[in-house]
Structure 1
Amino acid sequence: MTELDEKRQQVFVSWERQRTKTSWDGSGGERHDRVVQKMREVLSSDSDFPSLQPAARTRLAAARTLARNTGLLSHALHAVNARKTLLLPWQGTQTHQTLRAIMTLLLARQSTPGAAENDTPFGLMLGLGAAEVMDLLRKLPSEDALREGLLEAARTQDEPTGPNKFDPPVPHELLAEAQIADVLNLPAATAVLQSAAASGAKLLG
């Protein structure tokens, strides 16, 4: 970058002959729902992108074939084996985190408690068979009941929200309430789970 014109919102750059190494030391930013849904749209369409290099075109074609042949685009629930089910909701960070919190809560209530772990940035691996997961979702508690259950779970955590910079002087009860109100998106997550129950599960592969 050679110059930055903030008034006109313009950035001026010049070509450099040397190669530089790109590094990323962060842990990844948050993803908006629309970004993830656009990814799904790209995988489900046959749109061409002239700006892609040949290798990128090949990778996109392979990803489209895999997504379509495995049902990753048409179903949210995928049976991995008798004790594992993949939940692929195609949602952004906030809804994804809410889904994990809800499923962790529900799985902990089972006679044989399971877990809900991040499988990829976009999927959750549930420690329960597909049939059991479907039964769980058909009996999904109301949004109010889920909110109360998640609030109670947050109250038992040592650090409900992180902790953040100004959390230490804040009463634990308020931190728990803030986590439910500000960090999670219950309406979106419950809608995803209801839709997943309606569409059923598919054998992965």
Structure 2
Amino acid sequence: MKPVQKDAYTLILEAIDMGIYRPGDRLVESDLAERFGVSRTPIREALQRLETQSLLARDGRSLIVASLDHNQLAELYVVRAELEGLAAGLAARHATDEEVRVLRDMVEQDRGLIGNPAAMARANRRFHKQIHLASHNRFLVQQLDLVHRSMALMATTSLAAKGRDEVALAEHDEIVSGIEARNPEAAGAALKTHISKAFVTRLKLDSGEVDSTL
């Protein structure tokens, strides 16, 4: 079976998400076309779409990866906490036994990534995405996809804060315990608390109050 070809929009979005392009970086059509091996027309269309979604911003005649100011960051975390909490609660109700098993396995496997912020950040995205899917609500999944696209506009992960990865993993464990117990209230509360603590850590990182391991 031939692998699915990714479109220009997905390729650029993934590059931003992986930190290849960071907030403030200029995106040039010709450079992107060469990097991804596609023509400039789909690149141009993808850039227009990303600008419409506020993931790119204008700097004179150039397009740059957007950044989030303090107020936008706070607004994003408020929405994320509510939607993610809802997803965890729905997962506690609707996740199959197999989906719950996958979540538990993720927590156990991710223990081996402690001390590696970049790998932990990738694992963290997979974990949260699995909870979204386990909610079995396609409209909620769509909204959370939009939220997580905006999360890519942060220059660093909160998991870069010294000691945060181990604490975050303990929080993941608590979230999964709530889902395993089929307790929507406990699962939702645990995930909202997890997002709140991540926000506090990010604010401390941005202020220089805590050290980054990156």
Same fold (TM over 0.5): no
Q: Choose between structure 1 and 2: higher strand proportion.
A: 1
TM-score in terms of structure 2 length: 0.30
TM-score in terms of structure 1 length: 0.31
Q: Choose between structure 1 and 2: higher helix proportion.
A: 2
